[in-house]
Amino acid sequence: MNWFKSSRAQAGHIMTKQDVISAVLKKLDSKQDRSFQIAMDELKHDGMIDIKEDGVTVVLTQKGAEKF
């Protein structure tokens, strides 16, 4: 969510696969990987983000944009 905030994203803004890899995945160690997956699942469940069919592309929802 910080990436969206720092990008001044609005609802519908997309965090591409390349963005996810460079901003998040490269910074995770093996212990953090599971925590990251849990956090993504919670954000999706809470309606803050949608995840595209590729499983990596993240889309900010209106609800997520309002939380900034």
Compute the distance between CA of residue 59 and CA of residue 12 in angstroms, rounded to an integer.
6
> What is the model's pTM?
0.78
List pLDDT tens digits, range 30-65.
889 888 889 999 999 999 999 999 888 999 999 999
Size of the chain in residues: 68
DSSP letters spanning 1-64: -HHHHHTT--TT-EE-HHHHHHHTGGG--HHHHHHHHHHHHHHHHTTSEEE-TTSS-EEE-HHH
pLDDT tens-digit series, residues 6-39: 999 999 999 998 998 888 888 888 889 888 889 9
pLDDT of residue 40: 92
- Report the pLDDT value the prediction gives residue 10, as an integer from 0 to 100: 94
> Please, are residues 66 and 29 in contact by the beta-carbon 8 Å criterion?
no
Query: What pLDDT sits at residue 29?
Result: 86
